[in-house]
Structure 1
Amino acid sequence: MPTIYLSPSLQPFNKYLTTGDEQYWMNLIADDMVPLLEQNGITVKRNTPGTTLGQAIRESNAGNYDLHLALHSNAGPVNLAGKLRGPDVYYYPYSSAGKRAAEIIADNLRKIYPDPDLVSTVATTKLAEITKTSAPAVLVEIAYHDNPQDEAWIRNNIPLIAQNLAMSVCEYLGQNCAL
């Protein structure tokens, strides 16, 4: 049975423009993803609010997971605050499985994000959830929470985003999922 470690943001200090924060909204997406994955035979372990990043990485590394999937929303640097848009899907450049998962996720996000040209995959060696996890890892910055259009898109599309990400996980794992 395939297994994933689902790691929604542990960052309640990243406030959204209107209401809530990154941890709150990413946990709602994870909450919707878990039953979709489980009903399709995928075992899910996930972090919970209050877990530290180090604890989440250790939990992930303690299991034999087929994928470590981190869910986040982004914010631009001070000089570009509110100006950037679009999902960024990060992966470790030395992991062909991580890159494959990132490409599947990005391709599927292009089907639901309002401007598909703004969805990108990004190789990185700077994110702990990408470089310190044993399983192939992907960190999805779903959209920019400091941009009014992106923030509204996240808030108004939680079930759609969750279903899209669950479908991507199924595709990556080679599961024929009914979502």
Structure 2
Amino acid sequence: MPTIYLSPSIQPYNKYLTEGDEQYWMNRIADDMVPMLEQNGIKVVRNTPNTSLGQAIRESNAGNYDLHLALHSNAGPSNLAGKLRGPDVYYYPYSASGKRAAELIADELRKIYPDPDLVSTVATTRLAEITKTSAPAVLVEIAYHDNAEDEAWIRNNITVIAEALTRAVCAYLEMNCAL
């Protein structure tokens, strides 16, 4: 049975413009994803809001996971606060599997995000959940929570986002999943 480690944000201090925070909304997406993945024969282990980043990485590395998937929302630097939009899908540049997973996730997000041209994949060696996990890893910045349009899109599309991410995980695992 394929198994993934699902790691929604543990950052309640990243407040959304209208209500909630990054931790709350990313856990809502994960909450929707888990039953979808499980009903398709994919075992899911996930962190909890009380897990530290180090604990999440250690938990992921202690298992034999096919994918480590981290869910986040983004914020621009202070000089661009509220001006940036779009999902960014990060992967480790030396992981062909991580890059493949990132591309599949980006493809699915392009189908649902209002401006598909703003969805990008980004190679990085700076994010611990990408560089320190044993499994192929992807960190998805779903959209910008400091941008009013993106923040509303996240809040109003929790299930749609969860379905897109689930389709991408299924494609990565080469499974035909029903949603």
In structure 2, what is the equivalent of residue 33 of structure 1?
A: 33
Distance 1:162 1:176 in 2: 16
What's the CA shift string for 1:20-47, capped at 9, x where partnerless?
Answer: 0000000000000000000000000000
Distance 2:11 2:108 in 1: 25
In structure 1, what is the equivalent of residue 117 of structure 2?
A: 117
Q: Aligned residues, how many?
A: 179
In structure 2, what is the equivalent of residue 6 of structure 1?
A: 6
In structure 2, what is the equivalent of residue 90 of structure 1?
A: 90
In structure 2, what is the equivalent of residue 56 of structure 1?
A: 56
Distance 1:176 1:103 in 2: 18
Distance 2:11 2:159 in 1: 21
Distance 1:77 1:164 in 2: 28
Q: Indicate the SS of the match to 2:16.
A: coil
In structure 2, what is the equivalent of residue 146 of structure 1?
A: 146
In structure 2, what is the equivalent of residue 137 of structure 1?
A: 137
One-letter code of the match for 1:68? H
One-letter code of the match for 2:42? I
- After TM superposition, the score normalised by the length of structure 2 is 1.00
Distance 1:44 1:141 in 2: 20
How many Å apart are 1:169 and its aligned residue? Answer: 0.2
Distance 1:165 1:8 in 2: 13
- After TM superposition, the score normalised by the length of structure 1 is 1.00
Q: Indicate the SS of the match to 2:94.
A: coil
Q: What value does the CA root-mean-square deviation take over the aligned residues? A: 0.2
One-letter code of the match for 2:66? D
Distance 1:150 1:46 in 2: 25
- Name the % identity: 85
Distance 1:137 1:23 in 2: 19
One-letter code of the match for 1:72? H
In structure 1, what is the equivalent of residue 78 of structure 2?
A: 78
Is 1:128 paired with 2:128?
yes
Q: Indicate the SS of the match to 2:48.
A: coil
In structure 2, what is the equivalent of residue 169 of structure 1?
A: 169
In structure 1, what is the equivalent of residue 66 of structure 2?
A: 66
Q: Indicate the SS of the match to 1:174.
A: coil
Is 1:23 paired with 2:23?
yes
What's the CA shift string for 1:115-142, capped at 9, x where partnerless?
Answer: 0000000000000000000000000000
Distance 1:145 1:49 in 2: 18
One-letter code of the match for 2:61? N
Q: Please, which runs of 5 or more residues in structure 1 have no aligned partner?
A: none
